Amino acid sequence: MALTKEQFITEFKDMALKLYAAPIEDLSSQQLYQALALLTRSYIAQPWADTKERYDEEETKQVFYFSIEFLPGRLLQSNLLNLGILDEVEAGLEELDLHPQKIFAAEADPGLGNGGLGRLASAFMDAMASVGMAGNGNGIRYQYGLFKQAFVNGYQVELPDDWMRNGFPWETRKENRAVTVKFGGWVELRPSRSGHLRVIYHNTDDVLAVPYDVAMVGYHNGVVNNLRLWSAEAPINAGPHFTLEQRERINQITQILYPDDSDNAGKELRLRQEYFFTSAGIQSIVRHYRRTHNSMAGFADRVAIHINDTHPAMAIPELMRVLMDDEHVGWDEAWRITLKVMSYTNHTLLSEALEVWPIDMFSGLLPRIYQIVQEIDRRFRLAFVPQFGQAMIDRIAPLGNGQVRMAYLATIGSHAVNGVAPLHSELLKKDVLHDLFQIFPERFNNKTNGITPRRWIQIGDRPLAHLLDKKIGTAWRQNPLALRKLHDYIDDTRFLADLNATKAENKRELAKYIDQTVHVKVDPDAIFDVQIKRLHAYKRQLLHLLGILDAYLAIKRGEKRPKRLHIFGAKAAPSYVYAKEIIKVMNAVADMVDSDPEVSPYLQVVFLPNYGVSMAEKIIPAADISEQISTAGKEASGTSNMKLMSAGALTLATLDGANIEIKNAVGDDNIEIFGLTEKEIAGYYQRGDYRSRDFYEKDPRLHAVLDMLVNGKIPGIETEGRDIYNALLMYNDEYFVLADFESYLAANARLDKLYQQPELWAKKALVNIAESGRFSADFTVQRYGREIWHVIPQTPEDDGSDTEA
């Protein structure tokens, strides 16, 4: 859109006055933020309405991305960027003697997700709008987002995230679009005079699902898509017998996000949440479709529904229910439509994350849905036992072991199933969904994850963005593949120095931020070595920690090395005791290192509390090293690896998830690979001959490091060190930390050496930035659009570099 600085200033002052009846000089940052957000929203309203109207008029096929998590990050700056008025607005604010960054920072960061899965969903929303795809989100409006993390005496404590305290200016409540979701009770199937089955619900608990819509603004293209988040409320005419407890139980459904990443606790409230937003979404999609069509026959040509992991997999039986019970479509036709509409992404192979529900719980809470799942199960068995045998079908039918098995249900009820990086997609076919792959090989495919360079470079890394503009022009802002033009400057000594200067500037900025937030002074000349992701044993923050302890001991022995600053950001699930013990030990090691004048010139450790999207925007631009060190075969993709690469950090990685794609993109010389491969680890499992203790006994450095966990040398820890020591030695080190220790140290030593040659380092950084464009989520959603959703996306062109699994 077009907006001059002068126009903006007038409209902004006017908005502030209307809102607060005061001149802008008297307003707090929060008030200025509210005024600016509301003004921005007023710019979005018309294109939002126009986009919706256009999709309806042109009968565009629409994608609905169902996800129990969305992590959009702060929206003001990215909306201004995408509208194309960020520069004018910032200039206007400055002319008013205001500080744009201070105003942007007043926005609460909606933590409606745990980590990569939720962030991916939001990246896809941004990308779909930006490539002009009709993509809608469907999720939950959690009253409280992911807990706020604080450290008390080095221990994680969790505080409630009251993110809507000041309201959420980006949402609009759509009371007129509310639907009813039914739980519990029992169903009566009664043949009606017209011949269909009449389904009568008795004694259900009814919940009103009220949608709140959030605009998803496309980049410089006038497109504004919709993210619909549902809130649970008591029915309007609840009646005189409706108790406070009932009301309370309803409100609970959308009160809080489960704080578990890649884990499934099997709680009934979680099942309630899943059915709540899934049923509400399906009902509203069908209702909208039926406003302009008098039968459901063409539904699958106008609607694609994507199931982000299994949390919304009830979309399959729920669509069957609506088609049959409300729309009177017969089973076979309903199933044909459902299969054509539904597609499913799996995000993990970890068994603790695979959702299964006890049949008792499931059938009690969702009696009609359970009947339909039983029928899906019965027909699946009938169709495939003859060819594949009872034993195999028993293993993979939707019902088995007294459970509803959601990944199997999702695969059976979708026309496409994908993993999120080639290795992961291969392992899906080999292990977790092996039997289903035998039956439906054509459904399986890979779609490597992506990120949005708009947020991570254009907004997060201004110094780099400006340097790129100067050197290769601004085409990369529209099409990130244009970053490849950087290769032309690989021998441009001046440019390489500029690149290093940019990184140095970002490091000074982060150093300031660290000082302001945790009151720790860090040396901006150190190597900034970053590991930012959820705390989980398989991600092996512990391997990084053991590396730090080894450096500590080496420095104590008198070794000199380039100074390294280790930066961690990680929340642990509140019930994940082992992860919390690792946090405590990390914080203890940080203190130990800091207070030792022999060591602190060479080594520093900072664990930043409350890592999230907005903190990532500060850390990533300043990173020299990106630690992506999961046990091979365990991290489905990872996405912080892509973000850090795009900021020119060198990746220190195992051959896992999308690290393998990064290696293929930049070449072996521009990434630091170490550790066991997935094959080698599978070999250990098969033979059953991994013995962690052997590594401890053979390697004196490892021996010394592990002993530090229990010999009292790290002040302030006791049981934590012992528990970790035991996990590694008594319980045989489930994640092969000890097996990878030696090669991890060797890779780190190579990085230390490389850092002595700044120009060579800059060349490698350059190649990483240049090749990061292929990981833009714009391309990812276009591949989904072409190969899974069958919608026709527009610009920019895809390079087709994704590898099919």
Which lies closer to ligand TH1 via its Cβ, residue 210 or residue 537?
Answer: 537
Q: Which of 534, 580, 634, 764 is catalytic?
A: 534
How far is the C-alpha of 299 from the C-alpha of 380, rounded, in Å?
A: 24
- The residue at minimum Cβ distance from ligand TH1 is 116
Which one of the listed residues 643, 763, 764, 774 is annotated catalytic? 643
What residues pair up with 155 in beta bridges, in sequence order?
Answer: 152
Residues that bind ligand TH1 (CB under 6 A): 114-117, 120, 260-262, 309, 347-348, 353, 420, 449, 635-639, 657
Q: Are strands 356-358 and 403-405 parallel, antiparallel or unpaired?
A: antiparallel
* CB nearer ligand TH1, residue 460 or residue 657: 657
Q: Quote the least distance from Cβ 413 to ligand TH1, whole Å.
A: 19
> Is 18 assigned a catalytic role?
no
Nearest alpha carbon to residue 446 among 418, 473, 427, 470? 418
- Minimum CB separation of residue 264 from ligand TH1 in Å reads 7
Give the nearer residue to ligand TH1 in terms of CB position, either 137 or 721: 137
Shortest approach of ligand TH1 to residue 78 CB, angstroms?
A: 20
How many helices, marked H, and strands, marked E, lie in the chain? Answer: 33, 23
Q: What gap in Å lies between CA 545 and CA 582, rounded to an integer?
A: 9
Q: Which of 411, 639, 651, 654 is catalytic?
A: 639
H/E stretch holding 708 reads helix 700-708
Q: Please identify which of the residues 536, 539, 566, 783 carries the catalytic annotation.
A: 539
Cα separation of 279 and 63, whole Å? 16
Spatial contact of 623 and 649, defined as CB atoms under 8 Å apart: yes
State in angstroms the smallest separation of the CB of 643 from ligand TH1: 11
Annotation marks residue 533 as catalytic? yes
- Residue nearer to ligand TH1 on the CB measure, 260 or 617: 260
In whole angstroms, the minimum distance from the beta carbon of 620 to ligand TH1 comes to: 16
Buried b (16+ CB within 10 A) or exposed e, 698-732: ebeebeebbebbbeeebeebeebbebbbebbbeee
In 112-133, which positions are buried (b, 16+ CB within 10 angstroms) versus exposed (e)?
Answer: bbbbbbbbbbbbbbbbbbbbbb
Helix, strand or coil for residue 19?
Answer: helix
Q: Is 347 tagged catalytic? A: yes
Q: How far apart are CA 191 and CA 335, in angstroms?
A: 21
Q: What is the DSSP string of 588-645?
A: HHHHHHHT-TTTTTTEEEEEESS--HHHHHHHGGG-SEEEE-PPTTT-S--SHHHHHH
- In whole angstroms, the minimum distance from the beta carbon of 113 to ligand TH1 comes to 8
Minimum distance between the CB of residue 631 and ligand TH1, rounded to whole angstroms?
A: 12
Q: Closer CB to ligand TH1, residue 114 or residue 130? A: 114
d(CA 613, CA 620): 10
Instruction: Tell me whether residue 79 or residue 639 sits nearer to ligand TH1 (CB atom).
Output: 639
Q: In terms of CB distance, is 136 or 659 closer to ligand TH1?
A: 659
Which of 279, 308 has the CB closer to ligand TH1?
308
Inter-residue long-range contacts of 265-271, CB under 8 Å, 24+ positions, other chains counted: 265/575, 266/355, 266/356, 266/357, 266/358, 268/361, 268/365, 271/357, 271/361, 271/362, 271/365, 271/366
> Is 534 a known active-site residue?
yes
CB of 211 to ligand TH1, least distance (A): 23
Amino acid at 166: N
Please answer whether residues 231 and 213 qualify as being in contact, where contact means their C-beta atoms are separated by less than 8 angstroms. no
User: Which candidate in 41, 74, 347, 540 is catalytic?
Assistant: 347
Catalytic residue among 533, 544, 571, 634: 533
Instruction: Name the token pair of 582.
Output: 């690792």
Give the largest CA-CA distance in the chain.
91
Query: Which residues, in sequence order, are bridge partners of residue 593?
Result: none
Catalytic annotation, residues: 347, 533-534, 539, 639, 643
